[in-house]
Amino acid sequence: EPEVTQTPSHQVTQMGQEVILRCVPISNHLYFYWYRQILGQKVEFLVSFYNNEISEKSEIFDDQFSVERPDGSNFTLKIRSTKLEDSAMYFCASNGGQEKTQYFGPGTRLLVL
Amino acid sequence: AQSVTQPDIHITVSEGASLELRCNYSYGATPYLFWYVQSPGQGLQLLLKYFSGDTLVQGIKGFEAEFKRSQSSFNLRKPSVHWSDAAEYFCAYSGGYNKLIFGAGTRLAVHP
């Protein structure tokens, strides 16, 4: 069964460093999403991406964040200069075509020190 | 504003007992509704979904949910809980091919 994959599973970084989180969505999906979950809190929407551009973004998704689909399979989230409060689990999801259900990857746990 | 409310932060039930987790949404049109489950340190697994049609939907692991438009609710039920059901449960909705709005989650503990 197709699934969304994410790498790395865990990342530790120093405050101010850049991080890139990677996702491989399900191959025939057209819509891609990033969510984050701060420890103990609910899942929050960050950004959605369709047809090679951002379709919607939340207030959290400020200028420090960017997304890219560099090739036909990967979907990345970049944080340019990480802050302590960026520590969270980041989930990638995808859907599209006949499928409205969003399927989630296993997440990347980011820890900013 | 669009929102999802899960009024119960924590619920504890005995193994074998029935379960109902509450979810209310605020949305102008008929939403697409979902329940996801998250085990500690894990990702989000889809339990079930409602798009249209029969208001009682069946999901995996013996779960079901009922959409009640008049009450703006989509409560999750299971007739007999197993110890492995201990997890956090999230209700969510979307308008289609767009963002999911999640509730705050309900953490389920199961006593033997």
Instruction: Give the pLDDT confidence of B53-84 residue by residue, as tens digits.
Output: 889 999 999 999 999 999 999 999 999 999 99
B contact residues 23-82, partner A, Cβ 8 Å cutoff: 32, 34, 36, 42-46, 49, 51
CB contact under 8 A, B97 and A107: no
Helix ranges (DSSP H) in B1-112:
none
Instruction: State mean pLDDT over B30-45.
Output: 88
Give which of A75, A98, A78 is closest to A86, Cα–Cα. Answer: A78
Instruction: State mean pLDDT over A63-71.
Output: 94
Contacts of B51 in chain A (CB under 8 A): 100
Q: Which residues pair with B35 in a beta bridge?
A: B48, B91
Option in A31, A101, A105 nearest B43 (CB): A105
- Written as six digits, the tokens of A75 are 């979907």
CB contact under 8 A, B98 and A95: no
CB contact under 8 A, A95 and B97: yes
Name the residue of chain A whose CA is nearest to B38's CA: A106
What pLDDT, on a 0 to 100 scale, did the predictor assign at position B76?
A: 98
CB contact under 8 A, B44 and A45: no
Residue type, B66: E
Place A97 in a pLDDT band, splitting at 50, 70 and 90: low
Is residue B99 within 8 Å of residue B27, measured between CB atoms? no
- Mean of per-residue pLDDT scores for chain B: 92
Contacts of B31 in chain A (CB under 8 A): none
Task: Kindly tell me if the per-residue pLDDT of B96 is higher than 70.
Answer: no
CB contact under 8 A, A43 and B90: yes
Name the residue of chain A whose CA is nearest to B42's CA: A106
